[in-house]
Amino acid sequence: MIEVKNNFYVLSTNKTTYSFRVTKLGYLEHLYYGRRIDSSDMEAFSRKHVFVPGGCVNYNQEVKNFSLEDIKLEMSSYGKGDIREPFIEVVHADGSFTSDFLFERAEIVEGKAEYETLPGSYDENGKVQHLLVVLRDSSYNLTLELHYYIYEDCDVICRSSKLINNSEETVRLNRLMSSQLDFEDSGYIFTSFNGAWGREMQKYDVPVCAGKYVNSSYTGTSSCRANPFVMISKEDTSEEYGDCYGINLIYSGNHYEAIEVSSFGKTRVVTGINPQSFCFVLNKGDVFEAPEAVMTYSDAGFTNMSRQMHKFVREHIVRGKWKKKERPVLLNSWEAAYFDINEDKLVELAKAGRDVGIELFVMDDGWFGKRDDDTSSLGDWYVDENKLPNGLDGLCRKINDLGIDFGIWVEPEMVNVESNLYREHSDWTMEIPGKPHSEGRNQRILDFANPAVVDYMTEELTRVFSSANIAYVKWDMNRNFSDIYSQYLPPEKQGETAHRYVIGLYHIMKTLTERFPDILFEGCASGGNRFDLGILSYFPQIWASDNTDALCRVNMQEGYSYGYPMSAVSAHVSICPNHQTLRTTPLSARFNVASFGVLGYECNLCEMSEGELDEIKKQIDLYKKWRGILQYGEFYRGRTGNIHEWTCVSEDKKNAAGMLMRELFETNAQPMHYKARGLDKDGRYHFYNRETYYDVKEYVNGVAAGFQTPKGEEEEYDINGDALMYRGVKLRYEFAAVIYNHREKYSMDFASRMYFMEGRY
Ligand code: GLA
């Protein structure tokens, strides 16, 4: 709901309120963002200074009590007294950096405004409400639009901005943020999700009491170094209680999230495109669009905030045929064969997959040009006929004849110097002509700031995707930017290159997803190097990490769960010792963790034992039964640390799947318990565990026993929702350094169990 009362603007979702007012001078004073409150009391929040605080700049001589340094603002520019993080920075034709944007008008607009250059949120049901506030810097004749979109049912408010150059002169835009959030007080905990290749989404909490803290990416992608999703909370906020804000950006390039505490103890958070090395030249009449920022608030802790974000991403970001459709269980060829593929081998692998219930077979890297390793052929999207003598179509038909779908891997944004494309078009890459180039994975980035390159690659991929019955595409991107330079743009516009690349990328993604609406696209960038809402606006799922080790994954997937729904997180079971960590974890744990996401397998099934294949078949059968909930259910985090406790609940709360994983075994510890969350407290449930059977001999020396399910593995109760949530089930006794006892449970390091709750209605 949008309410405008005199100069007060109050935006409400079901459980939150956001408000600001226009001051007499024409500034937008931010008043409140938090738990829903009555909209009639906003006057009480406005600033009432009667003098300018000592040491601050007086905004103008007529109004003696006003300094921009000590007021909460909806947007702030540099040069008139506010010395905190600015929302916008423009260099005008006269060389000045000073801007002063004042209120001109506001209007409630019908529906969502479409972006020209970027993806944004959307609402199929037309319920989104849109407030447009227009500000003007009259000294320089620039217009700044602030857009607010209210998604009541998800408790989400999106913000974005647009600068229009109405002047006759050319200006340089050095920064335009998407959101700014000013708080009255300080001491907030800023949470970011940082990492590296194979180590994505590690959670870090930083209390910010003074100074500035920045989470940003400068790799050209949203990056695994610093995901654009961040949280702001209070020291005592927990999964179930307390204030928590979640903010994300619908953008896949360099991003910036800064939190700063002023000398008056107020906190400012800005988010948007990273201003580092960014500079957009705006000529007369030009418009610049900043990406949309997504904000949500919960007074009921982190899990609730996450669930609001999940719902928003599922409903208002992900689109197309696969938005709500159950995703297939796939088998990917990468870890099974790497580059060493051929038709016979792939068909054998697919057959083994079909036999255990795989629905989609994916041929990863190595099928085109002369791609026997990563030194050549990117850019040459022609089948290697030595490997696939019958072409893509021939292989695809053989896979389809097995009764399963076929998908391929591509990396369209890249080119190897060792390729026909590079030999023909060395001017199509991002590199500085005549200067030495720094390579990443032996490849260069195609210049998507150049529309001709985007058009060429769009047509190339259209040809490839139409050449066979392709049901799925894994779209990879495997290097960071260096030597950033568009050979297409003139020298004075090189500060636009990184952003124009992202615009070009979105253009190709949009065209191809519209041309091939049935294909299931999966994003990937050396794993999770580009896991963001921009990609999810086109591709419904993203490969979360190249690291498939169950222990690493449980932590990474927990990290993703703060900001992204499980339907977005692609997760595979692989063999052990794990190829990234050399660790051995139980096959059941690998499955349990991967099943809380979009499940796939990435291993050579042809080399696995009967016992393992049998176990995998059971896993896939079970996943197919529960995937509606595991992919689209309400996700709840429980304990974390040595023990990870997850629950995924159907929307109607009638059915739920739970998981416990213990990182390291503790000798002589007390039996574990499992505590569910999110159930119907008055509902009655049939609680039971996933059958776990194993070779006891592997665990206990001197015992001769084959695969079996010891009694200690059976857990079954008819139990109320409140008991499951508020007390939790005390699980059976565990092995604790005594002789073999079949009434015990045997769980080694990294062991995990799954539990199910079926409502008795
Ligand atoms: C990247 C991806 C992997 C795999 C390889 C192929 O590393 O993240 O999953 O596709 O490329 O080269």
Instruction: Flag whether 322 is in a domain.
Output: no
> Hey, what are 34's tokens?
């938090």
Instruction: Give the predicted TM-score (pTM) of the model.
Output: 0.97
85 and 106 Cβ atoms separated by less than 8 Å: no
Answer with the one of 610, 633, 656 that is the final residue of a domain: 633
Mutate to test the pocket of ligand 1, among 197, 330, 332, 364 (most ligand atoms within 8 A of CB): 364
Amino acid making up residue 425: H
> Hey, what are 759's tokens?
């409502």
Give the Å distance between the CA of 336 and the centre of ligand 1: 12
pLDDT of residue 527: 97
Give the Å distance between the CA of 363 and the centre of ligand 1: 11
pLDDT of residue 404: 98
SS3 630: helix
- Counting the structural domains of the chain, the total is 3
Give the Å distance between the CA of 34 and the centre of ligand 1: 42
Residues ≥6 apart with Cβ < 8 Å to 614:
none
- DSSP assignment, residue 429? B
CA dihedral 542, 548, 554, 557 (to 10 degrees): -10
Closest atom of ligand 1 to 525 CA is 8
99 and 90 Cβ atoms separated by less than 8 Å: yes
User: Are 335 and 308 in the same domain?
Assistant: no
Mean pLDDT of 675-680: 98
User: Are 598 and 649 in the same domain?
Assistant: no
Amino acid making up residue 260: E
Give the Å distance between the CA of 536 and the centre of ligand 1: 19
CA 136 to chain centre: 34
Instruction: Flag whether 79 is in a domain.
Output: yes
Mean pLDDT of 145-164: 98
Distance of alpha carbon 561 from alpha carbon 565, whole angstroms:
6
> Hey, what are 584's tokens?
């051995």
149 and 128 Cβ atoms separated by less than 8 Å: yes
Q: Which run of H or E residues covers position 533?
A: helix 533-536
Residue 732 has pLDDT above 70, yes or no: yes
pLDDT of residue 666: 86
Q: Which whole-number Å values give the CA distances from 301 to 233, 306, 558, in the listed order?
A: 9, 9, 15
CATH of residue 702's domain is 2.60.40.1180
pLDDT in tens, 608-625: 999 899 999 999 999 999
SS3 40: helix
Distance of alpha carbon 627 from alpha carbon 620, whole angstroms:
10
Closest atom of ligand 1 to 524 CA is 8
pLDDT of residue 690: 92
Higher pLDDT, residue 655 or 66:
655
pLDDT of residue 711: 74
Which range has the worst mean pLDDT, 105-114, 271-280, 359-368, 718-727? 105-114
Percentage of residues in the chain with pLDDT exceeding 90? 89
pLDDT band at 735, cuts 50/70/90?
A: confident
Dihedral sign computed on CA atoms, order 459, 460, 461, 467 = positive
Instruction: Flag whether 148 is in a domain.
Output: yes
Q: How many residues belong to the chain?
A: 761
Residue nearest to atom 8 of ligand 1 (CA): 526
Domain that holds residue 752: 643-759
Answer with the one of 291, 316, 341 that is the final residue of a domain: 316
Give the Å distance between the CA of 440 and the centre of ligand 1: 14
Give the Å distance between the CA of 204 and the centre of ligand 1: 27
pLDDT of residue 704: 61
10 Å Cβ neighbour count for 305? 26
User: Are 303 and 341 in the same domain?
Assistant: no
69 and 84 Cβ atoms separated by less than 8 Å: yes
Give the Å distance between the CA of 49 and the centre of ligand 1: 58
Distance of alpha carbon 591 from alpha carbon 356, whole angstroms:
14
What residues does ligand 1 touch, defined as CB less than 6 Å away?
334, 364-365, 409, 476, 478, 524, 526-527, 543, 546
Amino acid making up residue 717: Y
User: Are 404 and 305 in the same domain?
Assistant: no
Phi/psi at 608 (5° precision):
-95, 155
Residue 733 has pLDDT above 80, yes or no: yes
pLDDT of residue 739: 67
pLDDT band at 746, cuts 50/70/90?
A: confident
Mean pLDDT of 500-512: 98
Residue nearest to atom 12 of ligand 1 (CA): 365
Instruction: Flag whether 653 is in a domain.
Output: yes
Active site residue 405: no
Q: Which of 364, 546, 549, 680 is catalytic?
A: 546
Distance of alpha carbon 191 from alpha carbon 198, whole angstroms:
20
Higher pLDDT, residue 708 or 58:
58
Instruction: Flag whether 109 is in a domain.
Output: yes
pLDDT of residue 748: 84
CA 278 to chain centre: 23
Answer with the one of 600, 633, 666 that is the final residue of a domain: 633
Burial (0-12, 13-18, 19+ Cβ within 10 Å), 573:
buried
Residue 694 has pLDDT above 80, yes or no: no
Residue 742 has pLDDT above 80, yes or no: no
Residue nearest to atom 7 of ligand 1 (CA): 526
pLDDT of residue 744: 79
pLDDT in tens, 290-349: 999 999 999 999 999 999 999 999 999 999 999 999 999 999 999 999 999 999 999 999
Burial (0-12, 13-18, 19+ Cβ within 10 Å), 421:
buried
> Hey, what are 578's tokens?
């794990």
Residues ≥6 apart with Cβ < 8 Å to 379:
369, 414, 415, 416, 419, 420, 421, 422, 446
User: Are 308 and 401 in the same domain?
Assistant: no
Active site residue 546: yes
pLDDT of residue 636: 98
Residue nearest to atom 9 of ligand 1 (CA): 546
- DSSP assignment, residue 660? E
Select from 212, 190, 206, 178 the least CA-distant residue to 85. 212
Residue 35 has pLDDT above 80, yes or no: yes
Q: Which of 476, 532, 549, 680 is catalytic?
A: 476
Cα end-to-end distance, the chain, whole Å: 37
Residue 75 has pLDDT above 80, yes or no: yes
Closest atom of ligand 1 to 364 CA is 10
pLDDT in tens, 5-23: 999 999 999 999 999 999 9
Q: Which whole-number Å values give the CA distances from 646 to 154, 540, 594, 598, 726, in the listed order?
A: 22, 23, 12, 16, 15
User: Are 223 and 285 in the same domain?
Assistant: yes
pLDDT band at 270, cuts 50/70/90?
A: very high
User: Are 620 and 658 in the same domain?
Assistant: no
pLDDT in tens, 531-586: 999 999 999 999 999 999 999 999 999 999 999 999 999 999 999 999 999 999 99
Instruction: Flag whether 324 is in a domain.
Output: no
User: Are 119 and 264 in the same domain?
Assistant: yes
- DSSP assignment, residue 642? S
Residue nearest to atom 11 of ligand 1 (CA): 526
Mean pLDDT of 404-431: 98
Residues ≥6 apart with Cβ < 8 Å to 404:
350, 353, 354, 358, 359, 360, 361
- Give me the chain's average pLDDT, please: 95
Residue 477 has pLDDT above 70, yes or no: yes
Instruction: Flag whether 135 is in a domain.
Output: yes
CATH of residue 7's domain is 2.70.98.60
pLDDT band at 228, cuts 50/70/90?
A: very high
User: Are 664 and 753 in the same domain?
Assistant: yes
Distance of alpha carbon 487 from alpha carbon 456, whole angstroms:
16
